[in-house]
Structure 1
Amino acid sequence: MNCFQIIKSVLDEAYSQISGNEEEKDSFIKAKLDELIENYKRLLDGIQIDYSNPITRFAYIYKYVTSHANLVYTIIEDSDELNRIFDQEKVNVACIGGGPGSDFLGILKYLMRNEKTPKVKFQLCDREKTWAESWSDVDDKVDPKFTISTSYLPLDVTDPLDWRSHTKYFQSDIFTMIYFMSELSSLRDDANEYFSNLFSAVKSNALFLFIDNNNPEFYDWFDELAKEHGLEIMESRETDMIVPFDENKSDLGEYYDKFSYPKLRANVAYRIGRKI
């Protein structure tokens, strides 16, 4: 399976969990797609998205995970620093807020396209436990020559009693934050202690990949943490990106006919950093 085929299989599972007949399900999903578009415009107003609902998860995976995974792939492909780390025999990746799957799917696409076969362990760190259901068996869906595994760490970055006892993932080689800090913007005061702890505690030479909306409210937060905790920013850009839709749209099956293209254009800020 390629990445879009994997996403299609996950969408099938999420679709089956939605109540109602086909017409009702499709109506719920279309309404949720419109709702998400509006809600993401209001993140700075304190809007919180509830991903425990299978309709929300389906809509998010279809419209946004397809797009964000391709952004991850494109940025890694263009980065010599990130390229080199996947020449190692083993790579550990911590996906902070990575429950939706964009992080590891983008990396997986990079590995597939470049025929790189390190042993990669993905730790998906996310508060929403139901995301684990989507990705727990992804290793069964890829060519066996790609040795990957996913594990889920339930983690609420706004609650020190929840996150403080988890430290093993600090030894990861790469930390990804894909459209996560924007969702926490209204909770910055509660989450800042977690990020300060993370940025200060990771091992030397660990890499960070940050991708988010091109808004200084979001990327300034990351930049401030990086400066305060000894993270060298090797690449920093704010730019428009066209999402490569090179996998055949037929890989999304009937959902493409029902719900049209996923998100194709993104105005993003991204950072690639190294812990000094």
Structure 2
Amino acid sequence: MTLFELVKLALDELYTEGKKEHGELLDDKIKEKISYLSDCYKELVNTKRQPVDYRDPATRFAYVLKYVATHGDYVVQALEELKIANKGTIFQSETARLTCIGGGPGSDVTGVIKYLSENKDEPLKKLTCYLLDGEQSWADTWTEIGDAISSDVAINVNFQPLDVTKPTSWASQKKFLRADLFTFIYFVSEVKSFDNSGVIGDFWEKIFTESDVGTNFLYVDNGHKEFNEFFDSFWRSRKDIQVLYEQDNQWTTPRYSEQSDHLGEYKSRFEQHPKMKSMITIRILKKIQ
């Protein structure tokens, strides 16, 4: 199953949800939200902007249609680099935990699922995924995705509400820290402009300090220097974090095997194509002590 096929499953569910809320006005609402997202992403460095509002199923449909499959493939490409860096496999046992910070939109979990489907030498038999996101509405989109795909790996997806700018939402949580792999996929660019009090730095400190030795961290974002330097500032000076792979600000496309034909119905209806080329930065890190 390609990433675009996985995305089609999510879009069908989101469209049904949107129909219940918007009825016959849904298609126009989705077109409106596609433009809304595009405008929002042009303002990500603006410290006076409002957070992107994903509560409306039309907004979530628009995001999944435009971005999730492509971003998911960037995750696959990064995981292949991690596999090379490990000189073997990413996972070391039959069970593992994945924590996706800001993972509500689904790029993280779909990318990891796709990687596992292509790398049968991974010893993994069961993967427990924690999607941590400030928007509760994403939960219904991805928590049942494991039941919808055929895989040699049992996928258990759990959603936990978390707002990185509000320490009360994460200070007492512990389970998500026991991950074998953390992913931060287009997360920093969504939250950096709201770090007025330095609280996000406290969040990174918690993750890097309380995570286990051997844990890997995967960062993928839009290539903007401001976001890259912000993320890098939290780990560069740490002696317990090693960089395994870096890619700075390169134009990247999904692999040729990922074709958007499976979204043909929705591409025609909304006269939109998924975003298929992006300037991205990748960091792959490992906790070594």
Residues 158 and 182 of structure 1, relative CA distance in 2, 3 Å threshold: same
d(CA) in 2 for partners of 1:97, 1:39 = 17
Moved more, 164-173 or 76-85: 76-85
What do residues 6-41 of structure 1 show as CA deviations (whole Å, max 9, x unaligned)? 21121111112224455x322221221122112101
**Length-normalised TM-score, structure 2:** 0.89
Unaligned runs of 5+ in 1: none
DSSP 3-state at the match of 2:45 = helix
Which residue number in structure 1 is paired with residue 246 of structure 2? Answer: 236
Which residue number in structure 2 is paired with residue 181 of structure 1? Answer: 188
Moved more, 74-83 or 203-212: 74-83
d(CA) in 2 for partners of 1:247, 1:198 = 33
Confirm or deny that 1:71 pairs with 2:80: no
What do residues 48-76 of structure 1 show as CA deviations (whole Å, max 9, x unaligned)? 10111111100111111111101101121
Which residue number in structure 2 is paired with residue 109 of structure 1? Answer: 114
Confirm or deny that 1:15 pairs with 2:18: no
Say how many residue pairs are matched: 275
d(CA) in 1 for partners of 2:284, 2:140 = 30
What do residues 158-215 of structure 1 show as CA deviations (whole Å, max 9, x unaligned)? 1112211101221211110000011111112332211121111111111000001111
Confirm or deny that 1:35 pairs with 2:47: no
Residues 168 and 12 of structure 1, relative CA distance in 2, 3 Å threshold: same
Confirm or deny that 1:126 pairs with 2:127: no
Give runs of aligned pairs for residues 47-66 of structure 1, distance below 5 A: 47=49, 48-66=51-69
d(CA) in 2 for partners of 1:220, 1:247 = 31
Report deviation, 1:108: 0.8
> Would you say the 8 A contact 2:3–2:73 is kept in 1?
no
**Length-normalised TM-score, structure 1:** 0.93
Moved more, 266-275 or 146-155: 146-155
Percent pairwise identity: 35
d(CA) in 2 for partners of 1:169, 1:81 = 24
DSSP 3-state at the match of 1:84 = coil
Residues 129 and 107 of structure 1, relative CA distance in 2, 3 Å threshold: same
Confirm or deny that 1:195 pairs with 2:204: yes
Moved more, 185-194 or 167-176: 185-194
d(CA) in 2 for partners of 1:261, 1:117 = 36
Which residue number in structure 2 is paired with residue 224 of structure 1? Answer: 233
DSSP 3-state at the match of 2:117 = helix
